[in-house]
A and B are shown apart, each in its own frame.
Chain A
Amino acid sequence: MNLEQQLKMSAESWLGEEVLSPAESARLTALVRRRSQRSSLKRWGAVAAGLLLVGTSGLYGPALASIASDLPWVGRFIQQMAGSDEGLVWAEGQGYVMPVGKSMTKEGITFRIDSILADGARTELFWSVDGFDPAGEVSIGGLEYYYNKATRPGGWSSSYRIQDGRLLGTLSLPPLPHSVTQVGVTVAEINGVKGDWALTFSASRQALDPQTRVITINQPIRGEGYELMVTQVTLTPTGTVVEVTGESDPGFAIREVALGAKLQSLRSSGSADFEGGRQQLSYRFQFDRLDPVPERLSFRLLEITQVREGGPVLPVQPGARVEWQGATFTLDSIQMVEGRTEVRLRVDGAPKSLLDGLHKWSLRTKSGEAIRSVHLGAGELFRIDFPGQITDGIEIEALQHAESLPLPASVEIDLK
């Protein structure tokens, strides 16, 4: 029996090992009971909401002929994203994904920028590589970009895959700083071949600029240790960007935000500078397109955290257990592996932010030495690595943790 068959055959018996406690089971029953009492009222509410959406959809401008149809892989690729990036799907359908057609061949490998979508909310590049063995392992090294010969103004993300024997990829960049901008993309290495491919081309967001609105907001969000300002919202047919600036105590972070009732951010980027012991913050949250654009919309912080010193402390003994901040930490094992000491912890009942905040650990030895962790495997089963073979450990201790802060009221944004 091969591995796939083994996984299928064993799935049900493994799932059946999990039995809820009577209290957990009773909670689910209570949920059903409460729902049973409210169900008829909720059904009428859902019908009303549906009618409202149908009555007001389709506010954006006229369609253009689809240029992307000349580039079948780009169109197919985007259509596969339906449901996860409506703005991109809309742009492809309306012909706003424009051809670039720039390429460079080195060492027999051709790197090409096929097309681009650019507006005030985003820049998406579609690239491809030909001339290498697609059956083998694929690696791309030193992918970078710049605008107008300057250093890149922010982060990027990229993904790639093999389709029909070609390597196809996307590159998501911040919006072009000007209506027409010189864009450069470089790739240092493809599949171990050092080629320093470099492409430059002129990109424009002019096609969508007339449908772009930048609205100054300047609405404050204040809480203990932080003072933020929602400065502006950019609305385009392909996306929505909310910008937030402010200052805070060091260690403050916005982890999750939402716009309106259903939009959670697709991407977020932020920077923090330190000045006079305070943290200067600048966030940019990108959401999917709003269709229709409502007159008013709420912007909510869904999770904010503050790093605090200290954390759970456990004796270095398998089975050792400690309760901390409502969660149970159990030391499952400690073992020596290839020049390191690997400690595994199980964490049960942890609040959402707690596990993410436990970044730094220290292992104290009998001789009084405090050895800092070098690696952390995230998840409910923490794996904490310490350098060297430590045989005289006494206890491990989290040096800091992130504490969820009370959430401020949402900000009402006027989009009229």
Chain B
Amino acid sequence: MRQRDEAFLALLRPEEGKLLRIARALTGREADAWEMVQDTVVQAYERFHTLRGGPEGFAPWIRRILVNRCKNLLRGRSRLVLLERAAESEIDPGAGPEAQLEASQLWADVMELGEEHRQVLTLRYLVDMPVAEIASLLGVPEGTIKSRIHRALGALRKRLTADLKGADHA
């Protein structure tokens, strides 16, 4: 195998499981997620020469490729929403019960949210995309994304509160 291929695979190895987890969070389906990861690996390999920032830049770079591979799926599904409520408002910075939870529990709860909420929190906090980029990706206004994040965080808070109550009673 050529040196370039070895370098690519060495960078890919620690990232491949993470890519699958992001793809699963975005698509909600194992079969789609695995297909998207494979597509991403192929595309990333072909564009490897465009990677900037050395090995540290690999993870954010290939995650963006993955998100773009998922774009059609994300947009296709968002079009099925017939009537969508959206209101501009800032995210409440106040602390909640979440401070007491482990990372795995927190994200496990995110994965239990509805598709739209799960996707927007994944793009914002797992892929670290700015709101404007998410809006462009999904083809909706920035205000819609802000309100989706706000509502997703609200839904997550409710779920976390329920988790903690459950733990208290256990």
A residues at B contact (CB < 8 Å): 1-4, 6-11, 13-20, 24-25, 27-29, 31-33, 35-36, 39, 42, 77, 80-81, 83-85, 134-140, 143, 156-163, 264, 266-267, 347-352, 355, 378-381
| Consensus secondary structure, chain A interface | mixed
Q: Once the chains are docked, how many angstroms separate the CA of A85 from the CA of B79?
A: 11
| A35:B42 contact, CB within 8 angstroms | yes
Identify which of A20, A32, A138 contacts B9 (C-beta below 8 A). A32
10 CB contacts below 8 A, A to B, read A1-B99, A7-B121, A11-B126, A20-B20, A28-B37, A77-B141, A81-B139, A84-B75, A160-B83, A379-B115
Q: Once the chains are docked, how many angstroms separate the CA of A7 from the CA of B102?
A: 10
| A159:B83 contact, CB within 8 angstroms | yes
| Contact A19-B96, Cβ < 8 Å, known A85-B139, A350-B31 | no
B interface size (C-beta, 8 A): 73
Determine the residue in chain A with the shortest Cβ distance to B132.
A80
* Inter-chain contacts of B85 with A (CB < 8 A): 137-139, 160
Q: Once the chains are docked, how many angstroms separate the CA of A268 from the CA of B79?
A: 10
| A20:B83 contact, CB within 8 angstroms | no
Q: Once the chains are docked, how many angstroms separate the CA of A1 from the CA of B95?
A: 6
* Inter-chain contacts of A27 with B (CB < 8 A): 38
B residues at A contact (CB < 8 Å): 1-2, 5, 8-9, 12-13, 16-18, 20-22, 24, 28-32, 34, 37-38, 41-42, 45-46, 72, 75-76, 79, 81-89, 91, 93-96, 98-99, 101-104, 106-107, 110-112, 115, 121, 125-126, 128, 135-136, 138-144, 147, 153, 156-157
| B84:A160 contact, CB within 8 angstroms | yes
| Consensus secondary structure, chain B interface | helix
Q: Once the chains are docked, how many angstroms separate the CA of A24 from the CA of B37?
A: 11
Identify which of B2, B12, B91 contacts A28 (C-beta below 8 A). B12
The 4 closest A-B pairs by CB, nearest first: A84-B139, A10-B103, A18-B17, A15-B18
Within the complex, the shortest CB–CB distance from A122 to chain B, in Å, comes to: 13
Within the complex, the shortest CB–CB distance from B52 to chain A, in Å, comes to: 20
Q: Once the chains are docked, how many angstroms separate the CA of A14 from the CA of B106?
A: 9
Within the complex, the shortest CB–CB distance from B133 to chain A, in Å, comes to: 12
| B17:A19 contact, CB within 8 angstroms | yes
| Contact A14-B104, Cβ < 8 Å, known A161-B141, A351-B31 | yes
| A28:B41 contact, CB within 8 angstroms | yes
Q: Once the chains are docked, how many angstroms separate the CA of A81 from the CA of B144?
A: 13
